[in-house]
Chain A
Amino acid sequence: MSRIGVFICHCGTNIAATVDVEAVAAAARKLPEVVHVETNKYTCSDPGQEGLRQAIVDHGIDRVVVAACSPRMHEATWRKLLADTPVNPYMLEVANIREQCSWVHKDRSVATEKAIDLVKMAVAKVARLQPLHSTEIPVHKRALVIGGGIAGMQTALDIADAGFPVTIVERETSLGGKMVMLDKTFPTMDCSACICTPKMSEVGNHPNITVKTLAEVENVSGYIGNFEVTIREKAKYIDYNLCTGCGACETKCPVRVDSDFEQGMKKRTAIYKMFPQAVPAKPVIDAAHCRKLTEGKCGVCARVCPTGAIRYDDEDKVTTETYGAIIFATGYQLIDWKPLYPEYGGGKYPDVITGLQFERLVNASGPTEGHILRPSDGTEPKTVVIVKCVGSRDPTKGKAYCSRACCMYSAKHAHQYLEKVSDGRCYVFYMDVRTPGKGYDEFYVNTVHEGAQYLRGRVSKIFKEGDKLICKGEDTLTSRQVSVAADMVVLETAMVPADGIDELAAKCTVGRDADSWLVEAHAKLRPVETNTAGIYLAGTCQGPKDIPDTVCQAGAAASKVIGLLNKDMLQSNPQISRVNESLCQGDGACVNTCPYGAISIVQKQFRENSKKVTRPVAQVNPGLCQGCGACTVTCRAGAMDLLGYTNESIMREVDALCQW
């Protein structure tokens, strides 16, 4: 027999004016297993709380019902109070007789009757609750950042500055992401490399940051505070402890392949640094093109290296480490427009380029040393057409969403072109011009004043006529067909999530939307958290955005992580699901239901009919289970139940309402 104490609150007149509190108390006294009932003016006040504590001792109460305001208001208050008494904090039920009774009903007798029902339900439920104990989960005070673009670097710096070790896993050979490829950045037109490369070296030199390049996350297990992560660092064929980054090897390597960094517009060697300011400032060997590694010939770099750092027999390094938090900063890439837009030549015209290629063309350290020249023949284009929304806002061919940064960087490209080619003409085909942001619209208007011709409409066809690229489209403002003979065309293509994001996110049970952007826990209120506790989002992996927004979000994610890593221990939520192993069939229906990947099927040994048997049963990971209860309904055997909201306690509530 349990000993239930019922405490009914007047809440001043908030409850007492509409509900006959004494009548509720009288009814409560008649309920089974109730040993003590009292009413208080304000149960949540200090004297009210003290009275509750005293009554527990005086009457040997082991379960508590508080009939007062919403449990969303004070459930935590009562739990905290009970933690100091012999009563377990989870042997508590709150009957909401204010928000859902006295405040919404006018008739005193009707409200009183409902309040009595609500107290009955609470008593029925509390009688079947079990004591629950939260466990303490230790927090490993280290963070893992996946992706070393501006988002990843900013997050890592903020966390490292707060004193916690951070590892950055970057799959390219250098930090920097897309930002370091850009020439200048809107709207202030500061040189991208000048603001990005100092961040790169700050990251590279930070005592709390470890950078792993040419590396990928292979496996993730565990939960908040305790993620076990396996990282594969691919062979670089160079001993970084010896290499000084002098670059002698690069000057002698005989191989020439297209440089990805220069968007295929320049060649690089097989032993190479991605770009001169790369961090780490040391080369790697591209095994697919190195003559020594593919044909066993050459070996010139080993001969010229003054420190003997070349290792042709280098192998991948796989390490497993534990992190308290993981931040996704995997960024974006540009959509492969070629198969989608055969009407733009599908890639067969070299002078139809992407925005990122344009960035390299105007960059002083790019393939043309900053002279805007056509890739086909190296002449200066006198007419340039910029086409916006290629693959964006085009659900039939590309993506339905807006890529957000392209309106601004196409204005930037027009401005840069007109600045460098004073006798040039620039046409921009657009659907809308979207320039929210500080100084953004002013920047765009300025570009128009500089002479950029904006034409509202999509380009329907691009074809070659002699030396020219004819761009046909409709100016929808004048309803006229237009045709521009261009020397070069710049396609501002849609942003899409980084390659391989689906597999990586699945390993961490991070949600993706229909376009594979990672999904935040709440679009408005929890924008940098994911639904998996301990995993956060920074930058464009969450959706298209520009650098200011990326940096903001990276800082926000870092502050969440710092808050987490500042704790030594986390209190687990004990209201989670539990398996009744004698009923469990081990079929795993629950495994597929759980949004957090909290359930696994394990082989366990049992004694059944005095024989030892090994059979599969479900196992709930208390660090991952969030207590939604979806699995409990899925289980055909009824083996899953949710502590704190057990089937029995809910059924008793229903019975109490109907029959007591």
Chain B
Amino acid sequence: MPEDWEPKIVAFCCHWCTYTGADLAGLNRMNYPANVRVLRIPCSGRMNPQYAIEAINKGCDGVLVCGCHPGDCHYATGNYFARRRMMVFKRLLEYEGLEPERFQVRWISGAEAGKFRDTVMETVEQVRALGPLNLTREIPALEFPPMPDDDDGAFDAVPEEVTQ
């Protein structure tokens, strides 16, 4: 790792909530690391996974996607689409070997300046700990959690006392 390496993270933020929240953090003179560059999109529903792939391919160490809280979308349903798309996309990235910390989705309202700051700080720290993104490294095999043992009771839907 080069000595002066600093993580570079791009944050796709929706205009109505997270971008507003980030502005509020500025207004309140909150302090956070400068590693995140915000790219404004009208709605998290506008977030095309291709943009994240481009960022990862061209040398970003992490990608954040932020929008209004589910149910609060300025366009009624945009962030529901974002939620489903990004959930699947994140699984795909992880399957391809990307560490989960490098692609994160967060809901931050226009009032949650503190949450914006905390999200930036957390993400920067997590990505810093992982080091620069290295796309050519060996990808470890996925580990599946072990199946629960058949007779340890985990699959008994209803405990006996209740059925009696």
Contact = CB atoms under 8 A, between A and B. Distances in A.
Interface of A: 70-72, 96, 98-101, 103-107, 110-111, 113-114, 117-118, 121, 511, 531, 575, 593, 595, 626-630, 632-634, 642, 645, 647, 650-651, 653-655, 657-659
A627 B78 CA distance: 11
B23 interface: yes
Contacts of A107: 34
Interface string B28-56: 01111010011111110111111100110
A645 B38 contact: no
Contacts of B81: 593, 630, 633-634
A654 B34 contact: no
Kindly name the residue among B10, B40, B41, B78 whose own CB sees the greatest number of chain A CB atoms within 10 A. Answer: B40
B13 to A, nearest CB: 9
B76 A531 contact: yes
A120 to B, nearest CB: 10
A286 B32 CA distance: 72
B23 A99 contact: yes
A72 B37 contact: no
Contacts of B51: 650-651, 654
B78 A628 contact: yes
B45 A100 contact: no
Given A104-B29, A107-B34, A114-B34, 15 more contacts: A99-B27, A104-B32, A105-B34, A117-B37, A575-B42, A629-B78, A630-B77, A632-B46, A633-B81, A642-B42, A645-B42, A650-B41, A650-B48, A651-B54, A659-B59
A122 to B, nearest CB: 10
B25 interface: yes
B19 interface: yes
Nearest to B27: A99
B25 to A, nearest CB: 6
A346 to B, nearest CB: 30
Nearest to A113: B34
A99 B78 CA distance: 26
Contact of A100 (B22, B58, B74): B22
24 contacts: A70-B23, A70-B26, A72-B15, A96-B38, A99-B22, A100-B38, A104-B32, A107-B34, A114-B34, A114-B37, A531-B75, A626-B75, A628-B43, A630-B46, A642-B46, A650-B41, A650-B48, A650-B51, A651-B51, A651-B54, A654-B55, A654-B58, A658-B59, A659-B58
A632 B32 contact: no
B123 interface: no
A658 B54 CA distance: 9
A632 B46 CA distance: 7
Contacts of A117: 37
Majority SS of interface residues in chain A?
helix
Contacts of B85: 633
A628 B75 CA distance: 6
Nearest to A103: B26
Nearest to B35: A114
Contacts of A105: 31-32, 34
Contacts of B45: 628-630, 633
Majority SS of interface residues in chain B?
mixed
Given A511-B76, A651-B54, A633 B48 contact: yes
A657 B37 contact: yes
A535 to B, nearest CB: 13
Contacts of A103: 26-27, 29
Contact of B46 (A96, A111, A645): A645
Contacts of A70: 19, 23, 26
A59 B34 CA distance: 34
A27 to B, nearest CB: 15
A659 B54 CA distance: 11
Interface residues of B, number: 42
Nearest to A115: B34
B40 A595 contact: no
Given A105-B31, A111-B34, A658-B59, A651 B50 contact: yes
Contacts of B20: 72
A509 B39 CA distance: 31
A110 B34 contact: yes
Contacts of A655: 54, 58
A627 B43 CA distance: 9
The 3 A-B residue pairs with the shortest CB-CB distance in the complex, in nearest-first order: A99-B26, A629-B46, A630-B45
Nearest to A105: B34
Interface in B59-116: 59-60, 74-78, 81, 85
A632 B58 CA distance: 23
A630 B34 contact: no
A511 B77 CA distance: 10
B98 to A, nearest CB: 16
A459 to B, nearest CB: 28
Nearest to A626: B75
Nearest to B19: A72
A110 B40 CA distance: 21
Contacts of B55: 654, 657-658
Nearest to A125: B39
A627 B14 CA distance: 12
Contacts of A659: 58-59
Nearest to B38: A100
Kindly name the residue among B15, B30, B34, B58 whose own CB sees the greatest number of chain A CB atoms within 10 A. Answer: B34
Given A593-B81, A595-B76, A658-B55, A650 B34 contact: no
Nearest to A71: B40
Contact of B39 (A114, A593, A628, A654): A654
Nearest to A111: B34
Nearest to A509: B76
B111 to A, nearest CB: 11
A647 B52 CA distance: 12
A659 B50 CA distance: 17
A98 B26 contact: yes
Contacts of A651: 50-51, 54
B42 A627 contact: yes
A53 to B, nearest CB: 25
A550 B80 CA distance: 32
Contacts of A575: 42
A100 B75 contact: no
Given A110-B34, A630-B45, A633-B46, A650 B78 contact: no
Contacts of A511: 76
A647 B47 CA distance: 10
A195 to B, nearest CB: 37
Contacts of A629: 41-43, 45-46, 78
A595 B77 contact: yes
Kindly name the residue among A100, A111, A121 whose own CB sees the greatest number of chain B CB atoms within 10 A. Answer: A100
B23 A630 contact: no
A511 B40 CA distance: 27
B43 A630 contact: yes
Interface in B129-155: none
A647 B74 CA distance: 21
Contacts of B32: 104-105
A118 B37 contact: yes
A633 B42 contact: no
Contacts of B38: 96, 100
A655 B58 CA distance: 7
A90 B48 CA distance: 22
A632 B41 CA distance: 13
